[in-house]
Amino acid sequence: MKRVLFTLCLFTLTGALVRATAQVNPYKDGTPGVTGYRSEVLAEVIVQEEKFTRLAEAIPAEKYAWRPSPDVRSFAEVFLHVATANYNLYTLVGAKVPEGLDVKGLEKSTTDKAKVIATLKDSFVHAKKAITAMPDADLEKSLDWFGGKNTERGVLLFIVRHGAEHLGQAITYARIVGITPPWTEDTKKKQAEKKDAPAKEKQ
């Protein structure tokens, strides 16, 4: 079961990364305070925010406690794990966790769909603010990192990769329970419309 899940995650993640990086960067030029590398990271985070949110909304409430096996996260825990990371990881580049938020217990705090989605959305607002507020000059700052060293630039790269991994996980979960990601449905509809267009023109 674990090998099957790993393979599904690998293919799903690869597809998600290709589609995400192919999108236009809305923050690349002319946005005050967001330039260069940070603008590229921000664009990727925005793509992830949209996909996580749309997928979370597509999952039925009764499936939020579902998990493919006892030793892995449920739907709710995956989404809340990403939210937790959006708060915890950005402390490494200067952002502070909002006062009163129990990040330590966040991942297992609820399986309520509305609460999970609200928490996920709030965490991405926090993430975008953290990237926007971070000076470009800090990107090359060095910090301790799992027994070694990393730069704040490297931390941002890790955060994006971490989010992409769990997006792939959530997509795989959705496929297993028979749910097609909303953006895939969008593509199918567009393809169907293009296919039908010549026939309509002949009428």
Q: For the segment 15-46, what is each residue's pLDDT rounded down to a tens digit?
A: 544 344 344 444 444 445 687 999 999 999 99
Q: How many domains does the chain have?
A: 1
Residue whose tokens read 């099957």? 4
Query: Which CATH number does the domain housing residue 13 bear?
Result: 1.20.120.450
Q: What type of residue sits at position 199?
A: A
SS3 of residue 145 by DSSP: strand
- What per-residue confidence (pLDDT) applies to 62? 98
Cβ-contact 9, 168 below 8 angstroms: yes
Provide the domain limits for residue 164: 2-202
- What per-residue confidence (pLDDT) applies to 4? 46
Cβ-contact 34, 131 below 8 angstroms: yes
Encoded tokens for 184: 């895939």
Cβ-contact 48, 126 below 8 angstroms: no
- What per-residue confidence (pLDDT) applies to 27? 44
Distance (Å, whole) CA 90 – CA 53? 20
- What per-residue confidence (pLDDT) applies to 24? 44
* Ranges of the chain with pLDDT below 70: 1-33, 196-203
